[in-house]
Amino acid sequence: MGRLMIVISLVLMAAGIGFFVWVLQGPNNAAVQSFLSGLVCNDNETIVQWTGQYVGDGTSSTGLTINGREVGFYCEGLEGEQRSVTGQTALVIGGGFGVTLFISIIMLIWGISISTRNVNNIINPTRYITSGVASGIGGVTPLGTSTGYTSHNIPSNVNQQIDEVLNRAGFAATPSRETLADRLSQLEQARNQGLITESEFLSLRKSILDALDE
């Protein structure tokens, strides 16, 4: 889920940048002219761009400059009458890019947060059990809310794998009473005592945590 959100955020970011570069071509580009006309002009009007003198960092008479030159946008009617739509056009150009960029950044941060949490879950199961992000396993959350997670929350195929490993390691597993926290603790004890391999431990722990995320 985290990786998917990161990919989507990067796609949105690229789309926003692409839109900004494309729309900055202005009404001289037929596609851009048609797009902007449909948004800010009335029927039978076409958007046109006016470029004035170079003002650098000075004040523009239209309130908008591009590359230091005064720029204005007007909707032109069939008889040549014009009305200024500089503000609306600037809002479309800047808003379309800004909103897309903002959403992509939020999704990127969120995706990274989810991915980081999942990595931490695999590296440190205790943190997963006690963190406020998780809802608590087999006991009480940091907020004191009983969650009642038991081994029955694990899919049967994963539960069977855990039983086989724990039985081989010499633990008397009682799935009906033990919590997931107990099972993770038993797996860690078995690993520390050399009764199961590191790869078995990591594989089963990941299966448990993946099952909880579903």
Highest mean pLDDT (candidates 45-59, 71-85, 117-131, 192-206)? 71-85
DSSP state for residue 27 in the 8-state scheme = G
Q: Poorest-confidence range of 46-60, 87-101, 111-125, 180-194?
A: 111-125
pLDDT at residue 75, as a whole number: 93
Q: Is the pLDDT of residue 126 over 60?
A: no
Q: Is the pLDDT of residue 137 over 60?
A: no
Q: Token digits for 191?
A: 């690993």
pLDDT at residue 178, as a whole number: 61
What residues are paired with 50 via a beta bridge?
72
Distance between CA atoms of residues 187 and 205, nearest Å: 8
Q: Token digits for 21?
A: 């570069």
Q: Is the pLDDT of residue 103 over 80?
A: yes
- pLDDT tens-digit readout, 68-96: 778 889 999 888 898 988 888 888 888 88
Residues 153, 213: contact at Cβ < 8 Å?
no
Distance between CA atoms of residues 123 and 46, nearest Å: 60
C-alpha dist (Å) from residue 98 to 64, 163, 194: 17, 53, 56
Is 39 exposed, middle or buried, given 0-12, 13-18 or 19+ CB atoms closer than 10 A? middle
Q: Is the pLDDT of residue 128 over 50?
A: no
- pLDDT tens-digit readout, 22-75: 887 877 888 988 888 888 899 889 998 888 778 777 677 777 777 677 888 999
Distance between CA atoms of residues 56 and 40, nearest Å: 27
